[in-house]
A = this chain, B = another copy of it.
Amino acid sequence: MLSQVVELIEAKHRFAITSHIRPDGDGLGSSLGLYWLLRALGKEAEVITHDPVPHSYQELPGAEEIRVTPNVDQQYDAVFVIECSDISRPGLVDLEKQFVVNIDHHATSALFGDINWIDATASAVGEMIYNLCKAIGVRVTREIAECVYTALVTDTGSFHYSNTTERTFKVASELVKAGVKPAKIAQNVFGSYAWSKLQLLSQVLATTQRDESGRVAWMRQSLQMQEQTGATEEDGDGFVNYPLTVAEVETVALLKETAPGVYRTSLRSKGDINVARIAERFGGGGHRNAAGCTLRGDWDEAERLIAGLLIEAVEKRHGEIDRTEDAAA
The yes or no answer to A70 lying at the interface (CB within 8 A) is no
Contact B193 A246 (CB under 8 A): yes
When the two chains form their complex, are residues B158 and A166 in contact, meaning their CB atoms are under 8 A apart?
A: no
- The verdict on A192 contacting chain B, using a C-beta distance below 8 Å, is yes
Query: Of all chain B residues, which has the CB nearest A185?
Result: B160
- A193 CB contacts on chain B under 8 angstroms: 245-247
For the complex, give the distance between the alpha carbons of A175 and B169 in Å: 10
Is the CB–CB distance between A198 and B191 below 8 Å? no
Stretch in A13-21, A133-141, A202-210 with 4+ CB within 8 Å of B: A202-210
A155 to nearest B CB, angstroms?
13
Contact between A183 and B158 (Cβ–Cβ < 8 Å)? Answer: no
Q: Which residues of chain B come closer than 8 Å to A202, judged between CB atoms? A: 202, 205-206, 208
Interface residue count on the A side (C-beta < 8 Å):
50
Cβ-based interface call for A269 (8 A): no
- Taking CB atoms and an 8 Å cut-off, the chain A residues in 157-187 that contact chain B are 157-162, 164-170, 172-174, 176-177, 181-183, 186-187
Q: Which residue of the partner chain B has the closest CB to A195?
A: B246
Asked whether A176 lies within 8 Å of B182 as measured between CB atoms, the reply is: no
Q: List 28 A-B residue pairs with CB atoms under 8 Å apart, sorted by A's residue number.
A: A158-B158, A160-B182, A160-B183, A160-B190, A161-B182, A161-B186, A162-B183, A164-B176, A165-B176, A166-B174, A169-B170, A169-B176, A170-B170, A170-B173, A173-B173, A187-B270, A192-B245, A193-B247, A194-B246, A194-B247, A195-B210, A195-B248, A195-B249, A198-B242, A198-B243, A201-B205, A205-B205, A206-B206
The 8 closest A-B pairs by CB, nearest first: A202-B205, A169-B173, A160-B186, A162-B183, A158-B158, A166-B176, A164-B182, A169-B172
